[in-house]
Amino acid sequence: MFFPVKRLLRLAAVFSALSLPLGGCGFMTPESPLPQTAPFIESSTFSDELYNLGVMSVIYNAPLTKIQSAFVLDNTGAWRPLSTGSEIQRDITEIVKSTLNAMGGRVIFIEYDPTYVSNQVSTGYSNFSKKIAPDIVITGGITGFDRALETTGEGLDTGIDLQFPDIQSDGGDIILPPSQILAATYDSSSKQGLAKITLDFNMKNFTTLAGVPYMTTSQSMLVHKNMADKSFALTLFGPTFGVNGSTKKVQGRHQAVRVLVQSSMMHLVGRYMTLPYWRLLDNVKPDRIVLQRLKTSYNLLSEFDRIVKIQTWLILHGYNSNLNGKIDKSTITALTDYSTKQKITFDPVKPEISYELFQSLYTEIPLDENALSRRIALTRLLAGNSTAKKE
């Protein structure tokens, strides 16, 4: 039995078209070179929150804190090419530096670079007489990298074969290579993996090198990895042609490390400054260490100092209040209005500053431009009064 060549070629074209739903060749075509992009500013989940933490430190008038960071390295060995293909960084010191320097406000970052200091002294450029000594030093590193916590996969293999006899042209002059198979196959497989990265940080007193109690953090992040391999091949009377392609999408481990560093620094600095930093983050519970330090302060303050603090916070909340250390009429009016809005018990007849009211006024201070302006005005007012007393 003979088939005309033209008819056969049309049959092959139809067969190719019918086989496209199995996976198609279009998505298998090698991609064109990636387009060039302009440089851009690196941004991450906590870029805005770092700045807002600096603003919070000013509004709350936190103590000026001078921070230095030691070298922060990968302590797991996962950065080595022979172990995991250098999937995480060996040295993340610069990420810690840029994170601390991005806060601003009442946070001052101080560089730690012994080689730079030594070279500056040896060249006579500086004697470092005017340099600032840090209050605390942050130490830490990458302490965990579990590369394959979980791995799952799935696959699909399909194929179709049609049998044909030998073929020659209508005139009988051209005879195609004998074959009996017209076949198409489609293979698809995918694989998903899950890894975990852990970072630990601690704070030390710069002068004594002793650890600062409770100033430690250990945070982890799960990183997902997906791999897919697809192939489509069409066999036409012997010769095989087709394309094979694979795609790999890995949630950036380097970016995950950056996010962990930023989250850890917010936790440490916010806790050290006794700031309600959790307000800047989503789905984060109040820090019990911060609340414990606040309650200790409440218990140790004299009645006069406690009332002055309450009056200061009322001003930051937008109320008109005096700073006289007395529960006067304006203070009672402001406290009555605030406690009613926050549903906190307060008796204007027998006004007492409960810890619940004390904590709420502190942790809920607004973080906006108005509160910042009021804090700046208060600082100038208190500085002016201090100068007048000295004179």
Taking only the tens place, the pLDDT of each residue in 211-251 is 999 999 999 888 776 656 555 554 444 444 444 444 444 45
pLDDT, average across residues 110-118 = 76
Taking only the tens place, the pLDDT of each residue in 264-300 is 999 999 999 999 999 999 888 999 999 999 999 999 9
CA dihedral 97, 100, 104, 109 (to 10 degrees): -60
Asked if 196 and 218 touch (Cβ cutoff 8 Å), the reply is: no
Q: Is the pLDDT of residue 31 over 60?
A: no
C-beta atoms surrounding 298 within 10 Å: 16
What integer pLDDT is reported at residue 33 of this predicted model? 58
Q: Is the pLDDT of residue 383 over 50?
A: yes
What integer pLDDT is reported at residue 372 of this predicted model? 96
> Which residue carries 């009332």 as its tokens?
307
What integer pLDDT is reported at residue 158 of this predicted model? 64
Taking only the tens place, the pLDDT of each residue in 171-204 is 555 445 544 555 666 566 666 667 788 999 999 9
| Tokens linked to 320 | 């008109």
Count how many residues are written for the chain.
391
Can you tell me the distance from the alpha carbon of 253 to that of 368, in angstroms, rounded to the nearest whole number? 34
Q: Which amino acid appears at position 176 of this protein?
A: L
CA dihedral 17, 23, 28, 34 (to 10 degrees): 120
Can you tell me the distance from the alpha carbon of 23 to that of 182, in angstroms, rounded to the nearest whole number? 18
Asked if 205 and 136 touch (Cβ cutoff 8 Å), the reply is: yes
pTM greater than 0.75 (yes/no): no
What integer pLDDT is reported at residue 75 of this predicted model? 81
pLDDT, average across residues 72-84 = 70
Q: Is the pLDDT of residue 82 over 80?
A: no
Q: What is the CA radius of gyration of the chain?
A: 34
H helices, E strands: number in the chain: 11, 7
DSSP secondary structure code for residue 272 in this structure: H
Asked if 164 and 181 touch (Cβ cutoff 8 Å), the reply is: yes
| Tokens linked to 130 | 């005017």
pLDDT, average across residues 30-39 = 57
Residue of higher predicted confidence among 266 and 253: 266
